[in-house]
């Protein structure tokens, strides 16, 4: 039996496929949602879901939540005297869902299709797969959350050809996917997102407003139980906006009751920075799909955080249309995962459905690039599979030796969007021997093959001898947290080449770097060439040359934007 699981930051749930369509599986308490919370008592008894939530209010030191954001990292979460990784904690949640499903269905559940945020990288997807295996589940298929939602919507509301955007804001992550739907074909055109933006951040805004109002409270001096109480009341206050234009946050601290009334407009203003972060992935997805906002026929709201009137009003303004809120945002992903499970089992009623997905990150390697005869630039990123390429896919790039009598070629497998190799994430390295000869005489064909299960195969073949080396990247642990990865990607990469003293030069270079990262294919080549010319001018230290180059580069950026 294959079930579909939505492993969420705030809540998780499971579904199975029937002749009438997918159905949600209630948990042992009869609830459709299981909080993604884990607790442990002194006897090392593990509690998951609602019981863990209750224990959290009483014993916050023995309870953890919001660990999904750290999937794929080595960050440790403490439960009393023991520590666990995010994937181990997730395995407890998945095991509880598996046991509840077996009890409800009256049969053994052996396999699951698990959803993940579209913007999860390979390390995070592999960690999710391992979590399922730790829970006793076979996990051969990982599906992106917006894609899962689109599967469910597309299957049961088949109409004429349409293009829709899935806006998925959950408890801890934000994803946007653009899909084309026609008959029984669902084609993912582009995905983008933010792994550190979700409903929890909108709750934190109200917490900050409370601390700003009652300045006598310092988070560092409050005990964990009181902090959890304030967080819970902030969550309740946020929910209160669903029915009213004002909401009240009341916290009992000690023997005193502290009350704060918040207007919806006031809350919206306080959320402005978070709302702005939503715009960027939306803009990037439209750019990567090569479409305009007016080309979107329908916007589907997914994820519990989209129930907030702040989010719905913002989405209506952003997309210039009323978003579709007819589906249950908490359940649609699990239903889609169950449909995907049925596709995998080739269930008769939906076996003809064709689903395509895309690669969420650019995959490439490190090269030395010759800009002018005899002048080389080291550490350049060479994209092989651009982000938002339909998968499964296989692409080949031919690379040449750069030195006379060179006998080895190293292929550094990279994932990321920066044009400099050191700012991207290294997944591993392949080394192959080549015959000695003149520079450029020997070459290797580097082939990247990426499938729907986020498994990357890299093959390096020497053109002259046919010798090959191959490696599959699927089980490598990532010893770096997502925060560290993002910090590397956001480093001002131009400073690594040469310091720039003037602020305008820094700004233009950063803007060029951003446009490069947001582009794919030929556009990247144009931006890269323009950046190189501007950097070459800056290296002359000649103000006249720099001013001319600056005017030209500025015009290029304006015309390109």
DSSP β-bridge partners for residue 471: 458
70, 145, 331, 517: the active-site residue: 145
Task: Give dist(CA 421, CA 412) in Å, integer.
Answer: 9
Burial 241-267 (b: 16+ CB within 10 A, else e): beeeeebebebeeeeeebebebebeeb
CB-based contacts of 363-370 (< 8 A; 24+ apart in sequence): 363/413, 363/414, 363/415, 363/448, 363/450, 363/456, 364/414, 364/424, 364/448, 365/397, 365/399, 365/411, 365/412, 365/413, 365/414, 365/421, 365/446, 366/412, 366/414, 366/421, 367/399, 368/402, 370/402
Backbone angles phi, psi at 4, to 5 degrees: -105, 135
Beta strands 63-65 and 256-263, pairing class: unpaired
Count CB-CB contacts under 10 A for residue 196.
15
Q: Up-side HSE of residue 233: CA atoms within 13 Å toward CB? A: 23
Answer for the pair 67, 52: CB distance below 8 angstroms, yes or no. Answer: no
| 535 flagged as catalytic | no
68, 98, 129, 238: the active-site residue: 68
Task: Give dist(CA 161, CA 365) in Å, integer.
Answer: 38
Backbone angles phi, psi at 501, to 5 degrees: -90, -25
Task: Give dist(CA 256, CA 291) in Å, integer.
Answer: 56
Dihedral sign computed on CA atoms, order 289, 416, 453, 166: negative
Tell the residue number behind the tokens 């607790």, with chain if given.
Answer: 39
Answer for the pair 481, 73: CB distance below 8 angstroms, yes or no. Answer: yes
70, 88, 122, 168: the active-site residue: 168
| 6 flagged as catalytic | yes
Distances in Å between the Cα of 258 and the Cα atoms of 252, 254, 554 are 6, 10, 53
Task: Give dist(CA 76, CA 61) in Å, integer.
Answer: 14
Number of residues assigned to the chain: 561
DSSP β-bridge partners for residue 188: 179
Q: Provide the annotated active-site residues.
A: 6, 68, 145, 168
């Amino acid at each position: 039996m294959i079930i579909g699981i939505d492993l969420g930051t705030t809540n998780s749930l499971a579904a199975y496929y029937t002749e009438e369509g997918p159905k949600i599986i209630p948990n042992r308490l009869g609830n459709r949602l299981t909080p993604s919370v884990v607790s442990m008592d002194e006897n090392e008894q593990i509690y998951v879901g609602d019981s863990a939530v209750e224990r959290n209010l009483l014993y916050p030191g023995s309870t953890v939540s919001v660990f999904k954001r750290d999937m794929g990292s080595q960050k440790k979460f403490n439960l009393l005297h023991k520590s666990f990784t995010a994937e181990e904690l997730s395995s407890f949640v998945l095991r509880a869902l598996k046991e509840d499903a077996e009890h409800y269905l009256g049969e053994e559940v052996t396999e699951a299709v698990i959803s993940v945020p579209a913007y999860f990288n390979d390390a995070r997807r592999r960690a999710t797969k391992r979590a399922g295996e730790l829970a006793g589940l076979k996990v051969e298929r990982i599906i992106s959350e917006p894609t899962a939602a689109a599967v469910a919507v597309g299957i049961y509301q088949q109409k004429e050809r349409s293009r829709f955007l899935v806006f998925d804001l959950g408890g801890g992550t934000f994803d946007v996917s653009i899909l084309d739907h026609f008959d029984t074909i669902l084609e993912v055109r582009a995905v983008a997102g933010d792994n550190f933006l979700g409903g929890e951040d909108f709750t934190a805004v109200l917490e900050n407003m409370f601390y700003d109002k009652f300045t006598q409270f310092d988070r560092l001096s409050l005990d964990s139980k009181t902090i959890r109480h304030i967080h819970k009341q902030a969550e309740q206050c946020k929910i209160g906006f669903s029915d009213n234009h004002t909401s009240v946050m009341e916290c009992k601290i000690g023997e005193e009751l502290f009350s704060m009334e918040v207007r919806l407009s006031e809350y919206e203003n306080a959320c402005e920075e978070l709302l702005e972060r939503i715009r960027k992935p939306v803009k990037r997805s439209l750019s990567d799909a090569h479409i305009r906002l007016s080309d979107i026929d329908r916007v589907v709201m997914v994820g519990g955080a989209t129930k907030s009137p702040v989010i719905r009003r913002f989405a209506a303004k952003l997309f210039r249309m009323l978003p579709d809120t007819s589906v249950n945002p908490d359940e649609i992903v699990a239903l889609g995962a169950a449909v995907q499970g049925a596709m995998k089992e080739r269930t008769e009623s939906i076996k003809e459905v064709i689903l395509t997905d895309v690669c969420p990150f650019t995959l490439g390697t490190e090269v030395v690039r010759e800009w002018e005869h005899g002048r080389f630039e080291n550490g350049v990123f060479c994209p092989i599979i651009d982000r938002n390429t339909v998968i499964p896919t296989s692409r080949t790039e031919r690379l040449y030796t750069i030195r006379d009598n060179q006998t080895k070629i190293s292929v550094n497998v990279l994932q990321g969007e920066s044009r400099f190799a050191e700012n991207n994430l290294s997944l591993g390295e392949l080394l192959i021997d080549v015959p000695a000869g003149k520079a450029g005489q020997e070459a290797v064909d580097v082939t990247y093959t990426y499938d729907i299960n986020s498994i990357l195969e890299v093959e390096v073949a020497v053109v002259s001898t046919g010798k090959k080396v191959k490696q599959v990247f699927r089980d490598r642990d990532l010893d770096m947290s997502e925060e560290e990865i993002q910090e590397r990607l956001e480093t001002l990469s131009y400073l690594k080449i040469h310091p720039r003293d003037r602020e305008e030069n820094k700004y233009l270079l950063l803007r060029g770097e951003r446009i490069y990262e947001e582009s794919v294919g030929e556009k990247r080549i144009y931006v890269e060439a323009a950046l190189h010319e501007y950097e070459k001018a800056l290296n002359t230290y000649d103000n006249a040359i720099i001013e001319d180059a600056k005017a030209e580069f500025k015009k290029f950026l304006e015309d390109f934007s």
